[in-house]
């Protein structure tokens, strides 16, 4: 039977999956097969022939309609999903960095069934994390998921490219159904080098580059650092949304301060033009303060343990800047506010953070949560912050 059109399998049928990644795949002529574990969401997708993606910005609102998709429950219909992966051109995901290890086994099975003379599967993880596709690839190639004897020819069946995605998708109206509202601005940058000898997939909206590192760090250390700084300071000052937080002059000063510190690092490290980074920073502050994107500080602040980890938006740039004797006062302020994000309703990591803080010494917390060694210049600063937060908790 002749093969019909192009197909992409996307793991994670949530707002980013439907509103961002699937939208671009659809616009590029792909049939999109969503893979998810949420049974009611799967049923809704399969019962709904189209949904809308609504883009909002200061210059107005626009809508586009998405069609030509299906959904598979990866828990109950694994065999079906393996077959879809075997016959797809592209696999993407937006499941959260901590879930990559759970989707790896089924992707590994689908890849293993592909013929060596087929064009390799193009795998792109679309996550808020540095090197997320590499992480996914390491789980897929793990001996538990792929026979080590098959690794020598694995590159004939699959190729992996890291990406940086940038688009603010706020909490949605509970009555929106499958429709997704997001900001107009977007950036999707993908490393083209792993695909160059086998063909770069035609996906509208992707900026294919040779060196992804500056884009990933610029995005993570500006958008994510700025967004989270506003949210954690806002939470500790009892603000409702990120927009509300940024109306507070002191919080705005903290956000500008933290992003000036990351700007200094990015300019020095990647030889980025300082004026260009300053303009980008100002654009990001405007974006995260978009009044059309009602973004609760608790939602933006969720998962504080991940956000306090070694390669993430705060400790990553602060540790590197400290080693280079650059100022990190505002990043340390943001780190302190993140450590104070404890026992927040609906956020398991904030509860786990509370337990870790109460059961460990400050030095143990810094090692366990931040992955920072005593030899690093930032270490005493972090220990001091943790001790202060622990002392305040005991007084409460």
Question: Looking at the domain assignment, is residue 85 inside a domain?
Answer: yes
Domain final position from 210, 240, 265: 210
Q: Taking a C-beta distance cutoff of 8 angstroms, is the pair 86, 108 a contact?
A: no
Question: Looking at the domain assignment, is residue 266 inside a domain?
Answer: yes
The terminus-to-terminus CA distance of the chain in angstroms comes to 70
Q: Taking a C-beta distance cutoff of 8 angstroms, is the pair 330, 261 a contact?
A: yes
For residues 193 and 267, membership in a common domain is answered with no
Q: Determine the 3-state secondary structure of 60 from DSSP.
A: strand
Question: Looking at the domain assignment, is residue 45 inside a domain?
Answer: yes
Confidence (pLDDT) at 2:
37
Question: Looking at the domain assignment, is residue 97 inside a domain?
Answer: yes
Question: Looking at the domain assignment, is residue 1 inside a domain?
Answer: no
For residues 25 and 150, membership in a common domain is answered with yes
For residues 370 and 386, membership in a common domain is answered with yes
For residues 201 and 258, membership in a common domain is answered with no
Angle between helices 225-236 and 249-270 (to 10 degrees): 150
For residues 249 and 373, membership in a common domain is answered with yes
Question: Looking at the domain assignment, is residue 345 inside a domain?
Answer: yes
User: Could you give the CA distance from residue 396 to residue 393 in angstroms, rounded to a whole number?
Assistant: 5
For residues 200 and 323, membership in a common domain is answered with no
What's the predicted TM-score (pTM) here? 0.82
| Per annotation, catalytic residue among 7, 109, 141, 219 | 219
Confidence (pLDDT) at 4:
61
pLDDT, tens digit, 9 for 90 and up, residues 330-374: 999 999 999 999 999 999 999 999 999 999 999 999 999 999 999
Question: Looking at the domain assignment, is residue 2 inside a domain?
Answer: no
pLDDT, tens digit, 9 for 90 and up, residues 269-286: 999 999 999 999 999 999
Those residues of the chain that have pLDDT short of 70 are: 1-4
Domain final position from 210, 240, 274: 210
For residues 203 and 221, membership in a common domain is answered with no
User: Could you give the CA distance from residue 322 to residue 319 in angstroms, rounded to a whole number?
Assistant: 5
Q: Which CATH number goes with the domain that contains 323?
A: 1.10.1040.10
User: Could you give the CA distance from residue 106 to residue 69 in angstroms, rounded to a whole number?
Assistant: 20
Q: Which CATH number goes with the domain that contains 14?
A: 3.40.50.720
Confidence (pLDDT) at 168:
86
For residues 54 and 128, membership in a common domain is answered with yes
For residues 196 and 330, membership in a common domain is answered with no
Domain final position from 160, 182, 210: 210
Q: What are the two backbone dihedrals, phi and then psi, of residue 251, each rounded to the nearest 5 degrees?
A: -70, -40
- Catalytic annotation present for 219: yes
pLDDT, tens digit, 9 for 90 and up, residues 166-176: 998 888 888 99
For residues 36 and 173, membership in a common domain is answered with yes
For residues 166 and 222, membership in a common domain is answered with no
For residues 218 and 194, membership in a common domain is answered with no
Structural domain total, the chain = 2
Confidence (pLDDT) at 331:
98
Residues constituting the chain: 396
Q: In terms of DSSP bridges, do strands 51-57 and 60-66 run parallel, antiparallel, or are they unpaired? A: antiparallel
Q: Could you tell me the residue range of the domain that residue 27 belongs to? A: 7-210
């Amino acid at each position: 039977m002749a093969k019909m059109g192009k197909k992409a399998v996307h793991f994670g049928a949530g707002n980013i999956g439907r509103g961002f990644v699937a939208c671009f795949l659809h616009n590029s002529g792909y049939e999109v097969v969503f893979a998810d574990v949420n049974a009611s969401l799967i049923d809704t997708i399969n019962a709904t022939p189209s949904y809308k993606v609504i883009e909002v910005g200061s210059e107005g609102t626009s809508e586009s309609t998405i069609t030509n998709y299906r959904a598979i429950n990866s828990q109950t219909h694994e065999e079906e999903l393996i077959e879809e992966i075997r016959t797809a051109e592209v696999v993407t995901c937006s499941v959260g960095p901590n879930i990559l290890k759970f989707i790896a086994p089924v992707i590994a099975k689908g890849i293993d069934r592909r013929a060596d003379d087929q064009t390799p599967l193009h795998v792109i993880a679309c996550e808020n994390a540095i090197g997320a596709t590499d992480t996914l690839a390491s789980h897929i190639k793990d001996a538990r998921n792929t026979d080590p004897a098959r690794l020598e020819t694995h590159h004939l069946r699959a190729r992996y490219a890291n990406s940086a995605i940038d688009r603010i998708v706020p909490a949605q109206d509970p009555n929106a159904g499958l429709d997704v509202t997001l900001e107009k601005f977007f950036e999707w940058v993908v490393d083209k080098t792993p695909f160059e000898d086998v063909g770069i997939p035609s996906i509208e909206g992707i900026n294919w580059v040779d060196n992804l590192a500056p884009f990933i760090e610029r995005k993570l250390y500006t958008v994510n650092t700025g967004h989270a700084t506003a949210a954690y300071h806002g939470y500790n000052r009892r603000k409702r949304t990120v927009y509300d937080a940024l109306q507070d002059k002191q919080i705005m000063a903290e956000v500008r301060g933290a992003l000036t510190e990351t700007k200094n690092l990015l300019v020095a490290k990647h030889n980025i033009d300082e004026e260009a980074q300053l303009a980008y920073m100002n654009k990001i502050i405007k974006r995260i303060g978009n009044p059309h994107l009602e973004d609760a500080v608790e939602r933006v602040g969720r998962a504080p343990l991940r956000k306090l980890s070694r390669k993430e938006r705060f400790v990553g740039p602060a540790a590197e800047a400290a080693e280079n004797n650059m100022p990190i006062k505002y990043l340390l302020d943001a780190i302190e506010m993140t450590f104070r994000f404890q026992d927040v309703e609906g956020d398991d990591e904030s509860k786990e953070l509370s337990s870790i803080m109460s059961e460990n010494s400050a030095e143990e917390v810094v090692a366990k949560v931040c992955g920072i060694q005593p030899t690093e210049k930032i270490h005493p600063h972090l220990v001091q912050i943790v001790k202060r937060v622990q002392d305040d908790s005991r007084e409460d």
